[in-house]
Structure formats: structure tokens, C-alpha cells
């Protein structure tokens, strides 16, 4: 358990204990605090070595649609963790007033929660005419052990 500020302060220190550990799971609370991918705390948390990455936020987008990029980069969810892809798919269309950008964000919240769990999800989100579906419902059963509860 640590803070974003502590991680940012330890980032330049190569012998930082948090960098040497392969974490089983990293959970970011208030994940919108890493919205700027160029900020030291965002880079520090994204570089951590972990088997699983979770994030919790009630406001994934605060100022600009590109706020999503740092969250996807932390989760290492491709293709949305690729800057140009997210920019072309969502950020540019929204900035230019193109309705495609809005429709691509109108996916049930649960989809964003489980994006990184399903490598095949991009195939689910597009229909046969290569249009982004505006609504997808997913039911996922996740079993966790007593210790993980």
C-alpha cells in the first residue's frame, strides 16, 4: 500500500524495492489521478512489474478523451494502450465533432472494467461491417479465493 506521490519520488531510484518486486496484483484507486501519461507518477505506476493490473475510478475521463490513454497504458490493454490507435479511434473524432467518437464511448461501463481480461474483446465490439457497436452486454463470472476476498 503506497501513494502515487511516493511512487513518483522513488521512480528515479533504481534500487527502489517497489521496482524489484513482481507484484501479483496492483490495484489503483482513484486511477484518474494518472490521467496525464507524461506525469512522473503516471510513468512510475505504469512501469511497475505486475501479473495483474486493476484500476478503480468513477471519472475515467475528466478533461479530455485522451485521459483514457494513461489508464489503458497502465492496464497494458492493446490496442487502446497504443497512443495513435486511441487517438484515431476516439480522441480525434471527438475533437472534430464526429459522432463516431461519441458512439465508441457509449459502451456499457462493464466493458471498460473487463477490457484487459478479454483479448478477443475488440472482435466482439465490432460488427461484420466494421462498425463499432454502441452497446455490448457481457456477463463474466470471476472466482476468487478466500484470501483474495
Give the three-state DSSP class for 25. strand
Give the three-state DSSP class for 48. coil
pTM of the model: 0.68
* CB neighbour list of residue 5: distance below 8 Å, 6 or more residues apart: 41
- Give me the pLDDT at residue 113, please: 46
Q: How far is CA 2 from CA 10, 55, 103, 135, in A?
A: 11, 15, 37, 36
Three cell numbers written together for 43: 510513468
Three cell numbers written together for 66: 485522451
* CB neighbour list of residue 81: distance below 8 Å, 6 or more residues apart: 69, 72, 73, 75
- Give me the pLDDT at residue 95, please: 85
Do 92 and 113 meet the contact criterion of CB atoms below 8 Å apart? Answer: no
Q: What is the mean pLDDT of each run of 10 residues along the chain (149 residues)?
A: 91 89 91 91 93 84 82 85 86 85 59 45 48 45 55
- Give me the pLDDT at residue 50, please: 92
Amino acid at each position: 500500500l503506497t501513494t502515487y506521490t511516493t511512487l513518483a519520488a522513488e521512480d528515479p531510484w533504481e534500487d527502489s524495492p517497489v521496482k524489484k518486486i513482481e507484484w501479483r496484483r496492483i490495484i489503483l484507486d482513484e486511477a484518474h489521478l494518472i490521467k496525464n501519461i507524461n506525469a512522473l507518477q503516471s510513468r512510475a505506476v505504469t512501469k511497475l512489474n505486475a501479473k495483474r493490473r486493476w484500476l478503480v475510478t468513477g471519472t475515467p475521463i475528466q478533461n479530455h478523451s485522451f485521459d483514457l490513454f494513461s489508464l489503458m497504458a497502465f492496464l497494458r490493454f492493446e490496442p487502446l494502450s497504443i497512443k495513435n490507435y486511441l487517438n484515431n479511434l476516439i480522441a480525434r473524432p471527438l475533437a472534430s465533432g464526429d459522432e463516431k467518437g461519441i458512439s465508441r464511448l457509449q459502451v456499457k461501463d462493464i466493458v471498460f472494467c473487463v477490457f484487459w481480461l478479454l483479448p478477443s474483446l475488440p472482435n466482439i465490439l465490432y460488427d461484420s461491417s466494421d462498425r463499432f457497436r454502441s452497446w455490448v452486454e457481457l456477463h463474466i463470472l470471476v472466482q476468487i479465493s478466500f484470501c483474495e476476498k
